[in-house]
Amino acid sequence: MHQNNLKIFYPLETGKDNKILRTVCEEVEKITPEIKEFGKILLDLMREYDGVGLAAPQIGENIRMIATTQRKKFPNEKNPDKDYLGETLLINPEIINTSKEMQTSEEACLSLPGDRGFVQRHQRVEVKYQDIKGKFHQQKYSGFNACIIQHEIDHLNGVLFIDKLIKEEKNGH
């Protein structure tokens, strides 16, 4: 499928009350050729929408699959490619360990255009998942990358970042 047509065939699901975005996704039971093709599409669309992550339900598929771009939060302006750490496609991702330490950062979402807010998440997470070949992995993420993973896995559970917004203190009180 021509890349310019991807947004037509897989438009972004948007809105805080969108039924697809509020549904717990189903496990991928078998890595079929269709699942592999969808994984490529998910990665392509993440790039096309210029996101740091994209979950299957955001483009209308009720399956447990996410695409992420792992990179540093503050890219090197002189050489932006220097901070790029790679893309990952995670099938049936599950957080198996979290740090007690928390971090607060501002988040946004492709499915909630114009919405931004501060969310508290674990500083470090360990995730178990399958890759597109069906191989199992365990990966540790920290900082900004941990936030991305938690945000995208929330999508698979019907949770949006706006459900987790924290109240900002005004004038330090």
- Catalytic residues, by residue number, are 152
Residue 156 DSSP class: H
* Whether the Cβ atoms of residue 75 and residue 30 lie closer than 8 Å to each other: no
Which of 111, 107, 1 minimizes the C-alpha distance to 46? 111
Pairing of strands 84-98, 136-142: unpaired
* Whether the Cβ atoms of residue 54 and residue 78 lie closer than 8 Å to each other: no
Plot region of 18 (φ>0 → left; ψ -120 to 50 → alpha; else → beta): beta
